[in-house]
Amino acid sequence: MANLRAERAAAIEAVGAASLLCRAVRKALIPSDSAAKADRSPVTVADLGSQALISLALGDAFPNDPIVGEEDASLLRTDPDGPIASAVLLHVRAARPDATSAMVADALARCSHPGGATGRFWTLDPVDGTKGFLRGGQYAVALALIEDGEPILGLLGCPNLSVDPRDPGAAVGCLFLAQQGAGAAMIALRGEQAPEALIRVSMPASPAAARWAESVEAGHSDQGDAARVAQLLGLGQAPLRMDSQAKYAAVARGEAAIYLRLPTSDTYRERIWDHAAGWLMVREAGGEVTDIHGQPFDFGTGRGLERNQGVVASAGGTLHGEVLSAVARALNG
Ligand code: AMP
Ligand code: MG
């Protein structure tokens, strides 16, 4: 197992700070805080601020590590005096008083690495589940360290996730951490001093008893196909619909036993930043993650998972094969 003490410390600090930035943006959200990207998906002050903050922190700690990040500097560079650029700088400065607009734009631009099968790089989704963020639902600050195509460190900052899903009065805000060979853990978002609680998947007594998770957004995962899978497996419970990689965290901590992400199109390729941290979380918690064909994820094919389609994550064991068979029957039937 690699000694990643410095990487863990820097990543926990950066994801924690970015999660608080997102919370601050969300609390005072105004219409001018968001815009539409070329693909019509939303981008907000939180996405850009979170990515800038984490890129600045990683740049200080590991100046030679490239970053594969979702966002870029185009919006800030085309409208440097606009409301989004000003708000991003303001929020980044709350955590980094030394930041300038040039530093923020450079930090965002630095995240354009193409990825690949060799060497070491970080991959970052600064606000995974931006639609959930805007709706007041779940979202995650997702950061992973990939070495020679394998995620070796993964973090998910989930500012809106309950520390104890069974307790409605429980504190909200979790940070999940996984390291290859060292397991997965949860710490309270503001509780960096609090002990890490190791998390494990929970195997249902039978497949039919499994709680299952899927996207809130029907455009991201085919909910009709998933309902057919649920019927074939005899799943008795309604799906746990959550935005973002919080779904992987739900499986990793035993809140759900299955996560289905079934393609809505043949041509869409998943992005590595949408899965690397969550993949490691579930595997280090004892579960299994493959694509819908049962293939392992190949994180070494660039910014996209070019050789994979969709996601099946589960508590592992024989359950995984049973879910994959049901998926194959539902999609080919
Ligand atoms: P979720 O919150 O799990 O629904 O996933 C959010 C992520 O879905 C975003 O970060 C997008 O990158 C990704 N996404 C966008 N379009 C699609 C699509 N057609 N199929 C699957 N995922 C998508
Ligand atoms: Mg995302």
11-64 pLDDT, tens digit per residue, is 999 999 999 999 999 999 999 999 998 888 999 999 999 999 999 999 999 999
Q: In what order do the strands lie in the sheet with 311-314?
A: 240-241, 212-214, 258-261, 311-314, 288-290
Residue 213, number of CB atoms within 10 A of its CB: 24
Residue nearest to atom 10 of ligand 1 (CA): 128
> What token pair was written down for 90?
């303001």
289-333 pLDDT, tens digit per residue, is 999 999 999 999 999 999 999 999 999 999 999 999 999 999 997
Residue type, 13: E
pLDDT at 169: 83
pLDDT at 196: 82
Residue nearest to atom 7 of ligand 1 (CA): 129
- Taking the centre of ligand 1 as the mean of its atom positions, its distance from the CA of residue 204, in whole angstroms, is 27
- Taking the centre of ligand 2 as the mean of its atom positions, its distance from the CA of residue 184, in whole angstroms, is 21
Q: Which residue has the tokens 């009065």?
A: 169
Q: Which residue has the tokens 């429980």?
A: 170
Active site residue 130: yes
d(CA 296, CA 259): 15
d(CA 2, CA 197): 21
Residue nearest to atom 9 of ligand 1 (CA): 129
Given a contact cutoff of 8 angstroms between Cβ atoms, the answer to whether 202 and 254 are in contact is: yes
Helices 83-95/45-61 angle, 10° precision: 40
Atom of ligand 1 nearest to the CA of 219: 19
Residue type, 2: A
The bridge status of strand 120-128 relative to strand 288-290 is unpaired
pLDDT at 204: 95
Mutate to test the pocket of ligand 1, among 156, 217, 270 (most ligand atoms within 8 A of CB): 217
The bridge status of strand 150-162 relative to strand 172-179 is antiparallel
pLDDT at 2: 77
Active site residue 47: yes
**β partners of residue 12:** none
Mutate to test the pocket of ligand 1, among 139, 223, 251, 274 (most ligand atoms within 8 A of CB): 274
Q: What is the pTM of this model?
A: 0.97
pLDDT at 189: 84
Listed as ranges, residues in the chain with pLDDT below 50 are: none
